[in-house]
């Protein structure tokens, strides 16, 4: 892609948008950025752009701004169908996303991991497995580090392991992973995609540029993911926690086994996985399959898995206060992720739910709430909808804010209980991101822990 001297508009000043703007300017493009947020809201991002001579438009998306460009690069958080972008495409202006831009410049082999849940854990684990095999490995994408920032670090020998969202896949054109992975597909982002069919179609785009010498890794236990194998060009490998597969990774008598055309290899015992929850066994199975396809020796895969610890904000143990354990699963931004979190604990759970609704059905939580949850604490914009849909499945305390919910949970929690933030919602009603939400949760918990540890005064 020749961008020298080209007029390029970057839409959206999130982390990837800023990275794209700086990259394009460094390659000689004449860059403009546009974001509907106010100048005050973007005060932290703007100075670095202005220092590089990048034109900044805030508070609106001007029609002329979109029209007078040779190319437009869209950040994942900007809906693909907003009118300025639709109009630009009608005028013949090329419109791509950050992942597509990165794909035009990245060297090396790409592992692209998508799914409704487990992406961050599996992406991080896969990066550590491949690195354990001795290869230069870069890990990023939707996980936090934009792929475009890896261009200058990548070479033909590099493995670039990327977490990829449905939003990013909407705008690809030539993006071609060496190994594509779909961990699972459950209802999520329906507020943006409109329905499950559109959401599944966006996920399935991960395969569209792969060839017959590439690989697709699919969850045999998840029907929507398994159905994607039909008609795709890459070689399909499976992973399954529930039954043996013809080609891929599975569990047999408490051990993870990998099978391909060369035979079977026992990789490790399931008991050696340090992560909590059956869903994390699936994430490990996916990671093992990726590692084997990337040529990593089985003993090195096993060592990387044994040494792996939970990703921040993903069923992350925080501390114990007065005998109750506190877990941060702020990354549980949809209902299915919350189900998986609840299934990781047998009972006695104090569950914090709520945030920005994504068109979810919270009624499917009822059975687990009855079985395992002592009390629900609702927060944020979705609180009323959640309370209506879960009904009397568990006692509910309306808390409005996360800080209030943590304090209320600490009041009710008894020794042996679990206080769990697994909100089933996006964070953007009260927080900048799920990371911000998780950090606030941990901060409040640690403040309560410090207070509980202080010696209590009294008479001798």
Pair of tokens at residue 47: 């100075």
Catalytic residue among 61, 109, 117, 142: 142
- Cβ atoms of residues 338 and 362 within 8 Å: no
Give the pairing type, strands 248-252 and 255-260. antiparallel
Q: Which residues of 95-131 are buried (b: 16+ CB within 10 A; e: fewer)?
A: bbbbbbbbbebbebbbbbbbbbbbbbbbbbbbbbbbb
- Cβ atoms of residues 441 and 377 within 8 Å: no
Q: How many CA atoms lie within 13 A of 445 on its CB side?
A: 24
Q: Which residues face 373 on adjacent strands?
A: 349
| Active-site residue flag, 442 | no
| Active-site residue flag, 142 | yes
For residue 134, give the H/E element and its range: none
Pair of tokens at residue 245: 């597969």
SS3 assignment, position 162: strand
Spatial CA neighbour of 237 closest among 111, 106, 107, 100 = 111
Spatial CA neighbour of 430 closest among 408, 449, 405, 409 = 405
Spatial CA neighbour of 159 closest among 132, 194, 184, 188 = 132
SS3 assignment, position 311: coil
Catalytic residue among 15, 61, 119, 279: 119
Q: How far apart are CA 163 and CA 173, in angstroms?
A: 17
For residue 268, give the H/E element and its range: strand 263-269
| Active-site residue flag, 350 | no
Q: How far apart are CA 402 and CA 381, in angstroms?
A: 12
Spatial CA neighbour of 114 closest among 209, 186, 193, 211 = 186
Q: How far is CA 224 from CA 109, 228, 229, 459, in A?
A: 26, 7, 10, 65
Other residues' Cβ atoms within 10 Å of the Cβ of residue 392: 9
Catalytic residue among 15, 189, 193, 279: 189
- Residues tagged active-site: 119, 142, 189
């Amino acid at each position: 892609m020749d961008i020298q001297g080209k007029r390029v508009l970057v839409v959206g000043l999130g982390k990837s948008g800023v990275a794209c703007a700086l990259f394009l300017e460094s390659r000689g493009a004449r860059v403009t950025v546009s974001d509907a947020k106010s100048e005050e809201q973007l005060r932290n991002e703007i100075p670095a752009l202005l220092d590089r001579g990048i034109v900044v438009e805030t508070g609106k998306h001007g029609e002329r701004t979109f029209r007078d460009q040779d190319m437009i690069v869209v950040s994942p958080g900007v809906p693909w169908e907003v009118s300025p972008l639709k109009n630009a495409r009608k005028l013949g202006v090329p419109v791509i996303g950050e992942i597509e831009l990165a794909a035009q410049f990245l060297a090396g082999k790409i592992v692209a991991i998508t799914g409704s849940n487990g992406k961050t854990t599996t992406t991080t684990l896969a990066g550590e497995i491949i690195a354990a095999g001795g290869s230069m490995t870069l890990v990023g994408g939707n996980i936090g580090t934009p792929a475009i920032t890896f261009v200058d670090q990548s070479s033909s020998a590099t493995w670039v392991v990327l977490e990829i969202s449905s939003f990013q896949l909407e705008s690809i054109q030539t993006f071609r992973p060496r190994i594509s992975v779909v961990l699972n597909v459950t209802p999520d982002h329906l507020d943006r995609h409109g329905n499950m069919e559109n959401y599944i179609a966006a996920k399935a785009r991960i395969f569209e540029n792969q060839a017959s010498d590439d690989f697709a890794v699919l969850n045999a236990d998840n029907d929507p993911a398994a159905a994607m194998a039909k008609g795709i060009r890459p070689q399909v490998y499976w992973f399954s926690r529930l039954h043996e597969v013809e080609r891929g990774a599975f569990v047999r008598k408490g051990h993870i086994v990998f099978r391909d055309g060369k035979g079977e290899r026992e990789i490790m015992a399931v008991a050696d996985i340090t992560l909590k929850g059956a869903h994390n066994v699936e994430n490990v199975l996916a990671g093992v399959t990726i590692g084997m396809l990337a040529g990593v020796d089985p003993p090195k895969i096993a060592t990387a898995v044994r040494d792996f610890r939970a990703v921040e904000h993903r069923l992350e143990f925080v501390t114990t206060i007065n005998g109750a354990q506190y877990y941060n699963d702020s990354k549980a931004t949809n209902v299915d992720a919350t189900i998986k979190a609840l299934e990781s604990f047998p009972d006695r759970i104090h569950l914090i739910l709520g945030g920005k609704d994504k068109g979810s059905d919270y009624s499917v939580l009822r059975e687990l709430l009855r079985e395992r949850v002592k009390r629900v604490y609702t927060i944020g914009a979705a609180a009323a909808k959640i309370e209506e849909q879960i009904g009397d499945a568990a006692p509910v305390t309306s808390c409005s804010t996360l800080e209030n919910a943590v304090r209320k949970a600490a009041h009710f929690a008894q020794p042996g209980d679990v206080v769990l933030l697994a909100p089933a919602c996006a964070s953007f009603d009260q927080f900048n991101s799920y990371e911000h939400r998780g950090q606030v949760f941990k901060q409040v918990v640690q403040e309560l822990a410090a207070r509980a540890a202080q010696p209590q005064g009294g008479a001798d």
